[in-house]
Amino acid sequence: MDKHAEYYYVPRFCHFNIYRRLSDGTSVKCDEAGTREEARTKVYKLNGWKLKS
């Protein structure tokens, strides 16, 4: 079982890029977010995780 999340975010200048990790070890950009909280929320949703309040 892979211990890495399928989706993750990385800061890029004034915004955050959201990437999808592929099975061959590479990643592809799939979305952007303006804030860290917005990026975190999107990544949790894409990974099927529940957000803690």
Per DSSP, the residues of 8-44 read EEEEETTEEEEEEE-TTS-EEEEEEESSHHHHHHHHH
Q: What is the pLDDT of residues 8-52, one digit of tens each?
A: 999 999 999 999 999 999 999 999 999 999 999 999 999 999 988
In terms of phi and psi (left: phi > 0; alpha: psi -120 to 50; beta: otherwise), the region of 13 is left
Residue 3 has pLDDT above 80, yes or no: no
pTM: 0.86
Q: What is the pLDDT of residues 34-45, one digit of tens each?
A: 999 999 999 999
